[in-house]
Amino acid sequence: MRLAHTIGDSAAIAIRRMLLREQTERRLQQIIALSEIDRAILSSSDLNVSLDVLLLQAMEQLKVDAADVWLFNPTSQALEFVSGRGFRTPAFEYAKPLRLGEGNVGRAALERRTIHIPNLTAHNDHPRLTKALAEEPFISYYAVPLIVQGQVKGVLELFHRTELDRMKNG
């Protein structure tokens, strides 16, 4: 009985070590991804290059099918679609600018919080998204405000063609 207990304890320790190692490796990958994003932003004056790196890393690290970025235009007080990856059709690229508070993108920017919709098919919030979803069968959705020094600079949208569990920080 004592031997079985010792073996059980050893197995539990081994499993915990394995989980900690996986978590450490995942964190390292996230740090490397952030470093690549920083390097791309600092080394390039081309916004498209920086956004491309951001979208690629976001898709890889978060394991989503598509992502796009909307930037806030202070002159028009609207969010404008500027770049996207992973889309099968150009439906999202032709999106019209959105005012603060309009649709999920505008709401994320106005409220300065992440908007999560686990099932887009049951959520008809904005005609832009409804029309685009007719061409792109996305299920899970996140809109994440991009805030720099207290000011909203844009919104990162994340899409997945299957349901996602809540995104985890670790």
Q: Note the pLDDT tens digit of each residue in 96-147.
A: 899 999 989 999 999 999 999 888 877 766 667 777 777 888 888 999 999 8
Strands (E), 14-131: 66-73, 78-85, 98-99, 115-117
**Given pLDDT bands bounded at 50, 70 and 90, which one contains residue 77?**
very high
User: 29 or 161: whose pLDDT is higher?
Assistant: 161
Residue 36 has pLDDT above 70, yes or no: no
Q: Is pTM beyond 0.95 here?
A: no
**Given pLDDT bands bounded at 50, 70 and 90, which one contains residue 78?**
very high
Closest to 48 (Cα-Cα) out of 62, 73, 68: 68
**Given pLDDT bands bounded at 50, 70 and 90, which one contains residue 85?**
very high
Burial of 146 (0-12, 13-18, 19+ CB in 10 A): middle
pLDDT at 19: 83
Give the alpha-carbon dihedral of 74, 111, 60, 169, to 10 degrees. 140
Question: ∠ CA(18), CA(23), CA(29), 5° rounding?
Answer: 125
Residue 28 has pLDDT above 70, yes or no: no
Burial of 28 (0-12, 13-18, 19+ CB in 10 A): exposed
User: 78 or 95: whose pLDDT is higher?
Assistant: 78
pLDDT at 108: 94
Q: How far apart are CA 167 and CA 170, in angstroms?
A: 9
The residue type of 116 is H
Residue 22 has pLDDT above 50, yes or no: yes
